[in-house]
Chains A and B, each alone.
Chain A
Amino acid sequence: MSTTRHHLNRQRRLSAARTVRAETPPTRSAAPASTTAPGSLGTLPAPGAPGTEPEEAADARLRGESPQAEPPPEPGGTRSEAEAPQGEEPQSKSKSKSGSEPEEPGPEPGKPAAPTAAAPTRTPRLLLAVLGILTLLLGAFAGLGFSRSAALEDDPAGRNTALTDLARTSEVKGKAGELVGSLFSYDYADPDKAAEAAATLLTGKAVDQHRALLADVRAQAPKQKLVLTTTVTDSAVERIEGDRARVLVYADQAGVSTAGGPAKSKPKKQSGKDEQPDAKDGKDAAGSDSTEGGASYAGAVFTLDLLHKDGRWLVSGIDTFGS
């Protein structure tokens, strides 16, 4: 026990002597606080005489805690800090540490508790405190800044690039027009074309939605020799978020039936209804359907969800606002 301590102490003494040299001669502990403090505290702004005693007492108390906070394998000056608690029993043997005995009753203000050991620690303590507060403030600002910028970027308005990305917006609009033309047109003479469009341009729930919308058209087209052509007359991009987009479409559906005169307008309307039942109804009620030169026109309104997949835009959802 005593041998290891002795050994440790000698090491400390040696290292202290090496690093501390002139400032901390072996007899340093004997020197009064007032004489040593100025020497080692030269850079401290407030080493003023009035505050010295209580401050150092406080330091001594603080030092009691310091060994836990500070990394253990430290040579030199910090070692001298760490001595305070450890040095109680064994240091009394070593002559250079004889002064550390008074450290034991640290709280006593009257005795300058290892003033020389306290002196070098005060500068870093204050600095550490300042740095710590600075770190906390900067860290708090960083946290605030990141969260605010994330909030701003997460803002739904910012995520939606409709209109803000004009190239993408017009691409989506153009594609929506092409897709509507392909998917909602039907020629009784060439049903394979419509089938192919449905097979290649639809994905997800749009497959079933499209099938339901065109069911009647497919059923009636052969009988009525129906040619249905759907053209987008106006559209607006509601949202674009990455690979997904939603477009509001106003379309005209022109139906031409060559099966017979009187049957013309009715089947066409029906076919239109089948595609966009509510829109059709609305249009009928609004009187926006028209018949010109043997073809009937019906206005439709619906939204398309588009999905950009493998370099192509596909329809992933069709909403005709059906009730």
Chain B
Amino acid sequence: MTRPIAHPLLLAAVLLTLLAGSLAAWAGWSWYGAAHEDSGGYAAERDEVLAAGEQAVQNLNTLDHRRLSGGLDLWEQSTTGELHEQLVGGRADFEKQVEQAKTVTTARVLSGAVTELDDRAGKARVLIALRVTVRAPEGEPSDKDSRMVGELTRTAGDWKLSALGQAPVGDTATG
């Protein structure tokens, strides 16, 4: 210190420290940037919506007549709003139907994607292609593919289905 020239090692150490300091600053900056990037949060929300939508649509296409109560509870847990009310309202009748038919319905998501996402309003729209397999006591199990269009609403931090339907056919075709 009193003779700085006498300590090139010290000088080198200071330079190294400065270098490490600037690297640390750079790293901190890019870390902060990556963590607070808006599109990152939006992208995460998009993926969350898709995951919730796929799970909910699958839930609503899955039902085992031997475990009706649990299955229908799951339907109700996966939904909100009008769809939820419809399911709750129609539950008793539906239970009877399924008990008589003794069907086991399973579903597999073929593909899905989010078409719209308003993360402020907490609304989203998803397309989910589904393969539904119905096994009745008699006969072969039947597969059918469904082109579902779902609307999700964020409730208490969770995304739940608020509307679900099949994509219409023939509406927009002009020949």
Contacts and interface: CB of A to CB of B under 8 A. Distances in A.
A237 B112 CA distance: 9
Contact of B20 (A138, A146, A247): A138
B129 A286 contact: no
Contacts of B174: 229, 231, 254
Interface stretch (B5-13, B62-70, B81-89): B5-13
A152 B34 contact: yes
Given A163-B42, A286-B144, A292 B26 contact: no
Contacts of A248: 111-113, 127, 129
Interface in A214-258: 229, 231, 233-238, 247-248, 250, 252-254, 256
Contact of A233 (B8, B14, B111, B167): B167
Given A235-B127, A250-B147, A283-B145, A164 B39 contact: yes
A254 B175 contact: yes
Contacts of A74: 6, 8
Interface stretch (A52-60, A84-92, A96-104, A128-136): A128-136
A297 B126 CA distance: 23
A71 B10 CA distance: 11
A-side interface size class? 35 or more
Contacts of A120: 2-3, 6
A281 B30 CA distance: 51
A120 B2 CA distance: 8
Contact of B6 (A77, A131, A145, A288): A77
A71 B112 CA distance: 64
Given A19-B3, A163-B42, A164-B39, A252 B170 contact: yes
A236 B144 contact: no
A148 B172 CA distance: 48
B interface, over-half SS: mixed
Interface residues of B, number: 61
B121 interface: no
A161 to B, nearest CB: 8
A36 interface: no
Given A127-B10, A139-B20, A286-B144, A236 B126 contact: yes
Interface string B31-52: 1011101011011101100000
A165 B47 CA distance: 14
Interface string A273-308: 000001101110110111010010111010100000
Contact of A164 (B42, B143, B167): B42
Contact of B28 (A145, A155, A160, A256): A145
A142 interface: yes
Interface string A102-141: 0000000000000000001001100110011011101101
Given A164-B42, A279-B147, 6 more contacts: A127-B13, A149-B30, A157-B47, A282-B147, A285-B143, A301-B145
